[in-house]
């Protein structure tokens, strides 16, 4: 496929996902299945165009004066790809599967592409209804934070210290030009290529040997700050595929016990193979037998640490899932808030006296973060916030520089602040 034909394909995929309100991955999969002639490079290029257009959806629609799939692609080619109007016109020539030539309206919009007078939510490329939450979270930095969440994300990996060290792993992957992580002592980073994608790490021998897991550095960081120690009894209450479970096992050096569970038993399926590959031997997966079954009833009041990687909107991962921010609705946010309260209340019954709950989200919205923690403290007045100085000085690394990103009740990471996905952490000490 020519570059122009790939642009036509991206416009077609965008029309499908917008009209049917479906995830971009589903629309791209259907497009690829219907066009077997498209090779892997074509599919990757079309996907990159679609995701880049979604990153800049609000600003492109504002600058071009309409929110059509074609306008979203045109705006993205200016703001994200840096193309000049004449370069875009050469691609939109209507020949050999290229998009139709530019209209006078489009030419004028490209020539005067300017967001300086646009509302904050447009410049930030954030849904308008969520803009007040962004302003509450980031004040005068809200636009910059939205821009950070609209950029392409790097690929981070966590060195599995049960198998190797970061320096040795970096040497083994030197052909992929890894960078050292800025915060986590186990992190290596790979920048996206021109197509927006990183290297195919899961085909590396070191991956099959269990020497690393793909995990954003922010996710690594909040796991490290949760306060786990070798020998602890830990419950990972929303373990899912087990990224943080594996990180905790490595931090504990396989000493102590980790009980990993999730209300949705299907999400736990990948964890079994990952555990085998990682060499983690102190993890027991508790799979609920039914929706109402409590797989942890025998562990009430016993955990030194309960990790709550809570269900949330995922607003902190919009770099990786740019279509998700345009599909989230107020009803979904309300449902996540309800679920967060329920899982925190459950954690309160599992932690031992004097133990700790680590509440984590991949969100930047105060409603899911500080507000959720403050509501928990009102329901459970015996619990108290772990002071930020204690949170940041625990473990093997002094994270004192992160104190500038403290919120009322926790710590907020973000692409603009820490170069990571948007993660939130608050630690709560149980009475006793």
Of 430, 285, 313, which Cα lies nearest the Cα of 369?
313
DSSP per residue over 310-331, as a string?
A: -----GGGTTT-TTHHHH--HH
**Looking up tokens 């459970």, which residue turns up?**
380
The beta-strand segments (E) located in 230-362 are 233-236, 257-261, 283-286, 303-309, 351-361
Q: What is the pLDDT along the chain (432 residues), one digit of tens a residue?
A: 999 999 999 999 999 999 988 899 999 999 998 887 888 889 999 999 999 999 999 999 999 999 999 999 999 999 999 999 999 999 999 998 999 999 999 999 999 998 999 999 999 999 999 999 999 999 999 999 999 999 999 999 999 999 999 999 999 999 999 999 999 999 999 998 877 778 899 999 999 999 999 999 999 999 999 999 999 999 999 999 999 999 999 999 999 999 999 988 899 999 999 999 999 999 999 998 877 778 899 999 999 999 999 999 999 999 999 999 999 999 999 999 999 999 999 999 999 999 999 999 999 999 999 999 999 999 999 999 999 999 998 767 778 899 999 999 999 999 999 999 999 999 999 998
Pairwise CA distance, residues 367 & 327, whole Å: 18
DSSP per residue over 111-126, as a string?
A: HT---TTS-HHHHHT-
Options 3.40.50.300, 3.30.70.1170, 3.40.950.10, 3.40.470.10; CATH of 155-214: 3.30.70.1170
Let me know: does 303 contact 273? Beta carbons within 8 Å: no
Options 3.40.50.150, 1.10.150.120, 3.40.718.10, 3.90.850.10; CATH of 217-429: 3.40.50.150
Angle formed at CA 321 by CA 315 and CA 323, multiple of 5 degrees: 95
> pTM to 2 decimals?
0.94
Q: Domain boundaries in the chain?
A: 3-118, 155-214, 217-429
- Token pair recorded at residue 7: 């642009």
Report, as residue numbers or ranges, the catalytic residues: 362
The beta-strand segments (E) located in 211-311 are 212-214, 233-236, 257-261, 283-286, 303-309
Task: Judge whether 309 is annotated as a binding position.
Answer: yes
Cβ neighbours, 10 Å, residue 302: 16
Let me know: does 60 contact 77? Beta carbons within 8 Å: no
């Amino acid at each position: 496929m020519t570059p122009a034909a790939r642009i036509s394909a991206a416009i077609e995929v965008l029309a499908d996902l917008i009209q049917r309100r479906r995830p971009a991955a589903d629309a791209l999969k259907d497009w690829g299945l219907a066009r077997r002639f498209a090779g892997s490079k074509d599919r990757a290029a079309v996907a990159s165009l679609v995701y880049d257009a979604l990153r800049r959806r609000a600003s492109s629609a504002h600058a071009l004066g309409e929110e059509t799939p074609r306008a979203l692609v045109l705006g993205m080619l200016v703001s994200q790809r840096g193309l000049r109007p004449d370069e875009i016109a050469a691609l939109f020539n209507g020949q050999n599967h290229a998009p139709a030539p530019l209209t006078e309206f489009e030419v004028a919009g490209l020539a005067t592409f300017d967001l300086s007078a646009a509302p904050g939510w447009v410049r930030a490329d954030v849904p308008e209804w969520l803009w007040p939450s962004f302003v509450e979270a980031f004040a005068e930095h809200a636009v910059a934070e939205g821009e950070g969440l609209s950029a392409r994300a790097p690929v981070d990996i966590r060195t599995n210290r049960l198998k190797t060290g970061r320096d040795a792993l970096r040497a083994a992957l030197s052909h992929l030009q890894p960078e050292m992580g800025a915060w986590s002592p186990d992190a290596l980073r790979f920048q996206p290529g021109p197509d927006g994608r990183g290297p195919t790490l899961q085909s590396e021998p070191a991956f099959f040997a269990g020497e690393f897991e793909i995990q954003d550095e922010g996710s690594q960081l909040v796991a490290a700050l949760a306060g786990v120690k070798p020998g602890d009894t830990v419950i990972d209450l929303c373990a899912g595929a087990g990224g943080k479970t594996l990180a905790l096992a490595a931090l504990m050096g396989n000493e102590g016990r980790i009980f990993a569970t999730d209300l949705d038993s299907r999400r736990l399926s990948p964890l079994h193979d990952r555990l085998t590959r990682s060499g983690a031997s102190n993890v027991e997966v508790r799979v609920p037998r039914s929706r109402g079954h409590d797989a942890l009833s025998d562990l009430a009041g016993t955990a030194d640490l309960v990790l709550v990687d809570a269900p949330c909107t995922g607003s902190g991962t919009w770099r990786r899932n740019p279509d998700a921010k345009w599909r989230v609705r107020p009803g979904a946010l309300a449902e996540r808030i309800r679920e967060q309260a329920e899982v925190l209340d459950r954690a309160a019954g599992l932690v031992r006296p004097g133990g700790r709950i680590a509440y984590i989200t991949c969100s930047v919205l105060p409603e899911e973060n500080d507000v959720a923690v403050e509501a928990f403290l009102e329901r459970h007045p015996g619990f108290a916030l772990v002071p930020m100085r204690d949170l940041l000085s625990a473990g093997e690394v002094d994270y004192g520089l992160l104190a500038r990103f403290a919120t009322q009740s926790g710590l907020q990471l973000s692409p603009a602040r820490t170069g990571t996905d948007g993660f939130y952490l608050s630690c709560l000490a149980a009475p006793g």
